[in-house]
Amino acid sequence: MLYKNQPEREHMAKVKWKPGTMLSPLPAALISCGDMERPNVMTAAWTGIVNSKPPRAYVSIRPERYSYGLIKESGVFVINVTTDRLKYAVDYCGVKSGREEDKFKACALTPQRSFEVECPSVEESPISLECRVFKVVELGSHDMFLADIAAVSVDDSLIDENDRLKLEDAGILSYIHGGYFEQGRYAGHFGWSVKKDKNRGKRGQR
């Protein structure tokens, strides 16, 4: 079935691959944990929203990661959305360990006191989701920390005069199969496929 403005194309053959983690794009998020005296931050793609009422999120982490122990002990973490300006920190914090160095300092990031949880947020992030763990699920290579979103902090420069969040202006970074990409071309708003054309009847009357 072709939709409006969708070009025709030849049939595309598909090849079967073994099961794998091929869903994309994914967040290129900075997960902050620890405390203000010894803050820590790691990069995670296995993170996202799992429920809306109440608002809940998750992050999946390998047990051998330094951040795993900090979050398991404290029960809190922050999901920090990243932008193109933070791509160096995103990559660095994904390959370096907090056991060996302060990654906040190494990446010139600022640990900011969170509103509701005891661990810091990343000040340079345009939006940070403060999370409290309510369950840990052992899955295999990773354990999933399921959490309630206790608060959200937003960069006020992204809020317009009508209190609308203009997150599309932030240059959000995503992760696709080993690469980082800045969000680009606008492709349509939610519900556009079923929205009625207000001018459809008028055209027939001309």
pTM beyond 0.75, yes or no: yes
- Domain annotation covers residue 116: yes
- Reported as a pLDDT band with limits 50, 70 and 90, residue 23 is very high
- Domain annotation covers residue 17: no
DSSP string computed for 140-197: SSSEEEEEEEEEEEE-GGGB-TTS-B-GGGS-BEEEETTEEEE-------TTGGG---
Total domains in the chain come to 1
- Domain annotation covers residue 68: yes
- Report the pLDDT value the prediction gives residue 5, as an integer from 0 to 100: 60
Residue 147 CA to residue 48 CA, distance in Å, equals 11
- Reported as a pLDDT band with limits 50, 70 and 90, residue 169 is confident
Which of 76-85, 113-122, 175-184 is predicted with the least confidence, judged by mean pLDDT? Answer: 175-184
Average pLDDT of the segment spanning 10-20: 89
Average pLDDT of the segment spanning 112-126: 98
- Reported as a pLDDT band with limits 50, 70 and 90, residue 198 is low
- Domain annotation covers residue 14: no
At 124 the three-state DSSP class reads coil
- Domain annotation covers residue 198: no
Q: How many residues are given for the chain?
A: 206
Q: Look up the CATH number of the domain holding residue 174.
A: 2.30.110.10
Average pLDDT of the segment spanning 73-87: 97
- Report the pLDDT value the prediction gives residue 4, as an integer from 0 to 100: 58
Burial 127-141 (b: 16+ CB within 10 A, else e): bbbbbbbeebeeeee
Average pLDDT of the segment spanning 141-165: 95
- Domain annotation covers residue 168: yes
- Domain annotation covers residue 18: no
SS3 letters for 2-64?
A: CCCCCCCCCCCCCCCCCCCCCCCCEECEEEEEECCCCEEEEEECCEEEEECCCCEEEEEECCC
Prior bond of 25 cis (ω within 30°):
yes
- Domain annotation covers residue 206: no
- Reported as a pLDDT band with limits 50, 70 and 90, residue 192 is confident
- Report the pLDDT value the prediction gives residue 197, as an integer from 0 to 100: 66
- Report the pLDDT value the prediction gives residue 168, as an integer from 0 to 100: 85
- Report the pLDDT value the prediction gives residue 188, as an integer from 0 to 100: 83
For residue 106, the enclosing domain spans: 26-191
At 79 the three-state DSSP class reads strand
